[in-house]
Every structure is written in C-alpha cells, then in structure tokens.
Amino acid sequence: MRHQRLLRGSLLERPKFCGKPGCKCTKGQPHPPSLYLSRLVKGVVKQVFIRAADHERARRQAKSYKEFRQTLRRWRAIDKELNQIWEELETAQEERYPFE
Ligand SMILES: [Zn+2]
C-alpha cells in the first residue's frame, strides 16, 4: 500500500455562474465548477467548500480515499470467505466421542 493522504468524503462539482451581466457564463459557458467536499458527520451530511487552489490536491486525495475503501471492501470479503472455510474445515475434522 502506497503511503498517501486520504480525503474522506466525496467531491461534488457545481457549475459556477457569477451572475455578472454580459459574462460568458450567462451565455451557457460556465466558469470552472465549484468544488465541495461532502461527508457524513454524526449522521448529517456536511458540505465544505474547497478553494480553487486546493482542487487538484483534494481530487487526488479523494480518489485515493475511494480506492482505499474499495480495497478495504475487497479485503473484508476475502476475510469473510476465509473465515467460512476455516469454520467448514473445523466441522469436517471434528471427531466424535466415544470413537467409532
Ligand atoms: Zn460569469
């Protein structure tokens, strides 16, 4: 596992319209989208605005977080399967007493 920082949550993009009259965004050409970090805090969805200067880093770390979670899910599935196999092995090898 590479050493990397993980930004928990998911990123939301919102098209940005400044509203200034005559701006290209009023003619269907929005500015680069605003970015928000959306995450669950104590059961409530919180959205935090991300500064433009942090977009690249936030995207990279949010992607790493997503990949980390996927790997963790896979790991847990394998762990569960292995556990099942061990349980079955135990049952299959269990001796009865008195011996037959
Ligand atoms: Zn504009």
How close is the Cα of 14 to the center of ligand 1, in Å?
Answer: 14
- Taking the C-alpha atoms of residue 65 and residue 10, their distance in angstroms, rounded to an integer, is 9
How close is the Cα of 9 to the center of ligand 1, in Å?
Answer: 28
How close is the Cα of 22 to the center of ligand 1, in Å?
Answer: 8
pLDDT tens readout for residues 36-76: 999 999 999 999 999 999 999 999 999 999 999 999 999 99
How close is the Cα of 96 to the center of ligand 1, in Å?
Answer: 79
Q: Which residue has the tokens 């990123």?
A: 11
How close is the Cα of 20 to the center of ligand 1, in Å?
Answer: 6
pLDDT tens readout for residues 10-29: 999 998 888 899 999 888 88
For 35, other C-beta atoms within 10 Å of its C-beta total 20
How close is the Cα of 29 to the center of ligand 1, in Å?
Answer: 8
For 62, other C-beta atoms within 10 Å of its C-beta total 19
The string of DSSP letters for the chain reads --------SEEEEEEE----TT-GGGGT-PEEEEEEEEEEETTEEEEEEE-GGGHHHHHHHHHHHHHHHHHHHHHHHHHHHHHHHHHHHHHHH---SS--
Q: Which pLDDT value is given to residue 19?
A: 84
Stated pTM of the model: 0.74
